[in-house]
Amino acid sequence: MRDSRRTLRYGTHFNHGVPRVRPVQFEVRENRLAVDPWLLGMYLGDGCSSGNVLITNPEPDIQERIAASLDDGDTCVSDGGIALRVKAKRRTNRPSVMKAALQQLGLDHLDAQNKQVPSIYLHATVEQRPELLRGLLDSDGYVTNPGAVEFCTVSPQLAADFCFLVRSLGGSAKRTTKTSTFTCHEEKRRGMPAYRIFASFPTDMVPVSSEKHTSKRAVSLAGVVPWTGRWWLHWLRAISW
């Protein structure tokens, strides 16, 4: 302990650390999810379903992937060029497959501040959870320097779910809260609290998939020393039992 304390730092560098958690393997009872995990993440960030499912995102590659991720019984049409409306391929009185799945998951008709990730998705396989993460970040995320990401939401539960997801995949997450303000009729008013999560991952984990985000991530990682996958110790304290 004394030796470790004396050698915690070498100049501006830390010498000792403990391994970070690897992606957690949960016990999964059902591998098939009602909605594609990337598509669900995209819906939670940019979607609504007061009528048909509507996902608002103008990026061409995002729109192409949304169309490709739908169930075979669904299709989508452009809504003003910046959004896609999901509907059933066959004209019936029944909702689209995606709409019915969202109803089953309890995610339809939710306001932005009440959105959340169903437990079955938070505890999905290590192949499915990164896709959910990418959907969330492709919709409401940003790539920051160097190689980290930021996610923003007005839902406290979705913020907590995002942190859980990041940490279950071996990343680190730090949440901050900011209350926005706006002006209405020349009067300054307070908006809803916004939850910002800053996350980082080992360099072998790619948390985004859109062309916009992956190109920015590649630039931000240029010249960056690969992440060692360790928590560096900044201080040590003896504990008596």
Q: What is the dihedral of CA 212, 34, 163, 202, to 10 degrees?
A: -60
Write down the pLDDT at residue 240.
59
Q: What is the pLDDT of residue 225?
A: 52
Per-residue confidence (pLDDT) for residue 1, from 0 to 100? 54
Instruction: Report the pLDDT value the prediction gives residue 219, as an integer from 0 to 100.
Output: 72
Burial bucket for residue 193 (CB in 10 Å: 0-12, 13-18, 19+): middle
| 172 DSSP 8-state letter | E
Task: Give the residue from 71, 81, 4, 12 showing the smallest Cα distance to 40.
Answer: 71
- Choosing among 2.40.50.140, 3.10.28.10, 2.40.50.150, 3.40.50.300, the CATH entry for 32-223 is 3.10.28.10
How confident is the prediction along the chain (241 residues), in pLDDT tens digits per residue?
Answer: 555 555 655 555 555 566 667 899 999 877 889 999 999 999 999 999 988 999 999 999 999 999 999 999 999 999 888 999 999 999 888 899 999 999 999 999 899 999 999 999 999 999 999 999 999 999 999 998 766 899 999 999 999 999 999 999 999 999 999 887 778 878 888 888 999 999 998 878 899 999 999 988 877 665 555 555 555 555 555 555 5
